[in-house]
Amino acid sequence: MQKIITANDLFSGEVIYLDSHNEWDVNINKSCIFIIQEDAEKAILFANTQIGKIVGPYLVDIENGVDGDLRPVLYRERIRSTGPSNYFHGKQEKKGKNNVRV
């Protein structure tokens, strides 16, 4: 199973993802994909050193969506990746109302 690391930005509360340069990005498609559990665990150790920048890092199982974008396996994580589902704003608004994929 492929995995990525997610957390929340401590200041904005935004859902963020660890990229291959050990930087945090709001775009799930820029995530570093882990296929080896040991590599993922090392990255989590790094993420846990980001005190004062992020909160609550953890691994998320992902798959490739129909359109080639990364798609979390769990529905809860799909909602987190697109933002609240009750109205369009933030990430949803930027993609356009018809392009939200939950």
Rounded to whole angstroms, how far apart are CA atoms 40 and 4? Answer: 8
Q: Which domain holds residue 79?
A: 2-99
Bridge-based pairing state of the strands 15-18 and 70-72: unpaired
Rounded to whole angstroms, how far apart are CA atoms 96 and 100? Answer: 7
6, 20, 99, 11 alpha-carbon torsion, rounded to 10°: 50
What are the tokens at 69? 């974008």
Q: Are the CB atoms for 19 and 32 separated by under 8 Å?
A: yes
- What pTM was estimated for this model as a whole? 0.80
Rounded to whole angstroms, how far apart are CA atoms 58 and 68? Answer: 23
pLDDT in tens, 8-67: 999 988 999 999 999 999 999 999 999 999 999 999 999 999 999 999 999 999 999 888
Structurally, the chain folds into a number of domains equal to 1
pLDDT at 33: 97
